[in-house]
Every structure is written in structure tokens, then in C-alpha cells.
């Protein structure tokens, strides 16, 4: 068991702005949305939940602007369809 440190570009919201509890996330959204943990052993109240655009462990990621904008728009629509809420774009560490 180890700690993986990476980064995340995600369209979403803080965890409890999307769901009322952890059980709700795993019942409704586990297969479609990702959890972003900004630090090791982070409580859910400090996590983000959303549609992951890019994120890799231990390396950088490259994407052109046109593709990035298309991916953001697609992710915003998906997040809205799944949650009924307007997601925001976040850049965050992701420690798992």
C-alpha cells in the first residue's frame, strides 16, 4: 500500500454540495463521477466530486486548447445531467 500523488482537472463541486452523504455518492454516482482528494487522509468535506478531465500520477499531461475547451463543455453537460447542478472547473492535487 502506498500513497499516490497526482493532479486533477475536474468539473464539479465540493463533495457535500453534490451529495448529502457518502452512501448517496456510492449509490448514485460512483460509476460516473470521481472523487478528488487534495491531501492524504482527507475528509470528504474537503474533497471535490466531479467529472475528471485530466489527471495523472507522477507526470505532466498535455492537451491543446481546442480539445480542452471541448472537454470542459462536455464535462459541464455531463455533470449537470447527473447532478442537476452547475459544475465549476477545478485544478487540484489528487492524493490517493
pLDDT digits over 47-83, tens only? 999 999 876 555 566 778 998 899 999 999 999 999 9
pTM of the model: 0.86
In the chain, DSSP finds a helix count (H) and a strand count (E) of 3, 4
Nearest-angstrom CA–CA distance, 46 and 55: 18
Comparing 61 with 28, the larger pLDDT belongs to: 28
Amino acid at each position: 500500500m502506498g500513497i499516490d500523488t497526482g493532479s486533477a482537472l475536474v468539473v464539479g463541486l465540493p463533495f457535500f454540495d453534490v451529495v448529502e452523504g457518502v452512501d448517496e455518492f456510492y449509490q448514485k454516482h460512483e460509476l460516473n463521477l470521481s472523487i478528488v482528494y487534495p491531501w492524504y487522509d482527507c475528509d470528504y468535506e474537503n474533497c471535490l466530486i466531479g467529472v475528471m478531465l485530466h489527471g495523472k500520477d507522477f507526470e505532466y499531461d498535455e492537451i491543446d486548447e481546442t480539445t480542452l475547451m471541448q472537454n470542459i463543455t462536455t464535462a459541464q453537460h455531463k455533470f449537470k445531467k447527473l447532478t442537476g447542478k452547475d459544475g465549476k472547473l477545478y485544478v487540484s492535487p489528487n492524493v490517493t
